[in-house]
Amino acid sequence: MKKLKSTSAEETEKTGKKIAMTVKPFDVICLFGSLGAGKTVFVQGICKGLAVKDFVNSPSFKIVNEYRGKFPVYPEPRQKPRFSKTGMGKRQKFTRCGVYHIDLYRLNSAGEINDLGLDEYIYGNGIAIIEWAEKLGKKNLPKKRIEIYIKIKSENEREIKWRRYP
């Protein structure tokens, strides 16, 4: 599990943007952490890294917000992307992809979540990002996922851990 300490919302956002450079279509990003931990801030960073132009906020009325993103197709797999202001290298090729931002905060049980038919997003061909993934319950988590854990250490300090699983 990779780990770092963030001391500001900006730093957390930047970490999200950096991690966006490692995701690809079909990926599911699961965020764990309490209210105010910085999950939405982190998602804003991921979305920046995916060149999403839409306004990214917690989906408060809907459970899912759908954005249009882009992700770089590298000339060579695993080649390190170059960073620019948009988070993407200038000479890279891009593919468009849907970004599905899901927030399970107001849901109470795995059953309730099942009824929503979120699978089309989670197992769709875009990139799914799930806030409050703990609400899915361990056995309902997507088998393949990127896990992000954000823990509040003090007012402005957060511990961020992440890994690709399995």
Binding mask 37-66 for Mg ion (x = CB under 5 A): --xx-----------------x--------
Instruction: Report the candidate in 128, 134, 131 with the shortest Cα–Cα distance to residue 109.
Output: 134
Please, what is the minimum distance in Å from the beta carbon of residue 163 to Mg ion?
A: 21
Which residue, 40 or 65, is less far from Mg ion as judged by CB? 40
Could you give the count of Cα atoms lying within 13 Å of 121 in the half-sphere of its Cβ? 21
The correct pick among 35, 55, 76, 166 for binding ligand ADP (CB under 6 A) is 35
Question: Could you tell me if 107 and 136 are in contact, meaning their C-beta atoms sit under 8 angstroms apart?
Answer: no
Instruction: Please check whether residue 81 is in contact with residue 73, taking contact to mean a CB–CB distance below 8 angstroms.
Output: no
Backbone angles phi, psi at 6, to 5 degrees: -110, 140
- Which segment (21-29, 63-71, 76-84, 153-161) binds ligand ADP by CB under 6 A? 153-161
Nearer to ligand ADP, 9 or 116 (CB): 9
- Quick one: DSSP state of residue 135? G
Element (DSSP H or E) covering residue 9 = helix 9-20
Q: What is the binding site for ligand ADP (CB under 6 A)?
A: 6-9, 11-12, 33, 35-41, 58, 131, 156-158
Q: What is the binding site for Mg ion (CB under 5 A)?
A: 39-40, 58, 131
